[in-house]
Amino acid sequence: MQDSQMDNAPLPATNASNVLSVDAMGGDKGPATVVAGLSKFLGKNPDAQVILHGPESELAPLLAKHKITGRVAIHDAAEVVKMTDKPKDAFRKGAATSMWSAIAAVRSGDASVCVSCGNTGALMLMSTIRLRKTDGVNRPAIACLWPSRNPAGFNVMLDAGADISADQDDLLTYALMGASYARNGLDIARPRVGLLNVGTEDHKGRAELKVAHEMIAAAADAGGFDYIGFVEGGDLPTDKVDVIVTDGFTGNVALKTGEGTASLIGDLLRESLLKTPLSMLGALLARGSLKRLQKRIDPRRVNGGVFLGLNQTVIKSHGSSDATGVAAALHLAYRLAQNGFSEKLAARVASVAALAQDVPHDAGTDKPGTKTG
């Protein structure tokens, strides 16, 4: 088992909440980029330690190049899950892969949060099977951060694509998990939760949304959040909501649409400014401001889809992340690790699960309350 195999010097005795488990392989840019990001991260977090998973022969020279010693232990894992592997095929490769090894280290308690740039589907499948779902969670979700006008600079949206559907019980669970994540990941004491719909009036939308609307409202106090009701796509980047709850199909389309729109506008802005000498000069003078804007909406800064609803926390860093993106995902992981996020989330879901069974299910479905959520 990779779990117990420490090929490097063992880490100094420590609290596991300071230790991250990092899959060095499987991203589009390879382990050199992951180690470069790791180096940035360690430089800013003197107490952090990392278990790094991948072929030792590749990783040891990279660590040496960045002069990283003592705070990183390598778990040797020869196989890599490829971006093109189907989840089930990746799972069959199993224990020999760096992804499996990275998950095993949080399963065993050696580390508290796992980070990987690899294949999302494979990571979700392996994580779900190896870490198991938190009691009361039927469908785990991926939460992403969304640039917004909020003071924190971001909203949380979930599910961003772990599952292609969600019923009323799942949506309630997403509300609880998203609020817990906003508290622990973004420092928002009492998050405002909204349910994504095609209009804000109570009578709009699909049947399961109307039921979830009632259930989430009833769970707000126990969940430690304010429920603001239905929100629309246009509310995603605003400051009226902190956590946006939706099914994984809609969430994934919204996320990619937002990214695509931002990318189109960025390209058009560049083309437009390069069109005349006068505007090129103007762009040069406004360079500082344009860079600040670029940084504000830089997708690398919001890197890290967080898998919620498993017994330990797993973060999916974007496959094409550069060193800055990897470092951002590690910072997020470290913050969640230090906050004891996995345990807090489990407690919150458990405390509301009982409550949810008492909520009246009379708002438009004929298959009410068949699960405990």
* Binding residues for a second copy (CB under 8 A): 147-149, 161, 164-165, 196, 198, 205-206, 232-238, 246, 248-250, 252-265, 267-269, 272-273, 275-276, 278-279, 281-290, 292-293, 296-297
Nearer residue to a second copy within complex by CB, 64 or 268? 268
Task: Give least dist CB 230 to a second copy, A.
Answer: 12
Alpha-carbon gap, residue 102 to 217, rounded angstroms: 38
Write down the least CB distance from residue 274 to a second copy, Å: 8
Whichever of 2 and 120 has its CB closer to a second copy, that residue is 120
Please name which of 2, 15, 40 lies closest in space to residue 337, comparing C-alpha atoms: 15
Q: Which two tokens stand for residue 60?
A: 């040891």
Q: Which is nearer to a second copy, 189 or 278 (CB)?
A: 278
Q: Is 264 buried (19+), middle (13-18) or exposed (0-12) by CB count in 10 A?
A: exposed
Output 5 or 279, the one with its CB closest to a second copy.
Answer: 279
* Least distance (Å) between residue 56 CB and a second copy: 33
Given a contact cutoff of 8 angstroms between Cβ atoms, the answer to whether 20 and 50 are in contact is yes
Q: How far is the CB of 325 from a second copy (least distance, A)?
A: 17
**Cα separation of 72 and 48, whole Å?**
9
The residue among 72, 73, 70, 80 whose CA lies nearest residue 7 is: 73
Nearer to a second copy, 78 or 286 (CB): 286
**Whole-Å CA distances, 257 to 220, 252, 253:** 30, 8, 6
Compute the least distance from the CB of residue 206 to a second copy, in Å.
Answer: 6
Written as six digits, the tokens of 216 are: 């989430």
Closest to a second copy by CB, 67 or 292? 292
Reading the block at residue 107, the tokens are: 């399963």
Q: How far is the CB of 248 from a second copy (least distance, A)?
A: 7
Q: Which is nearer to a second copy, 64 or 198 (CB)?
A: 198
Tokens linked to 64? 């040496």
Q: Which is nearer to a second copy, 119 or 134 (CB)?
A: 119
In angstroms, the CA 45 to CA 39 distance is 10
Which amino acid, one-letter code, is at 208?
E
SS3 content of the chain, % helix, strand, coil (to 5): 50, 15, 35
State the nearest-atom distance from the C-beta of 359 to a second copy, in Å: 23
Q: How far is the CB of 101 from a second copy (least distance, A)?
A: 26
Backbone angles phi, psi at 313, to 5 degrees: -95, 135
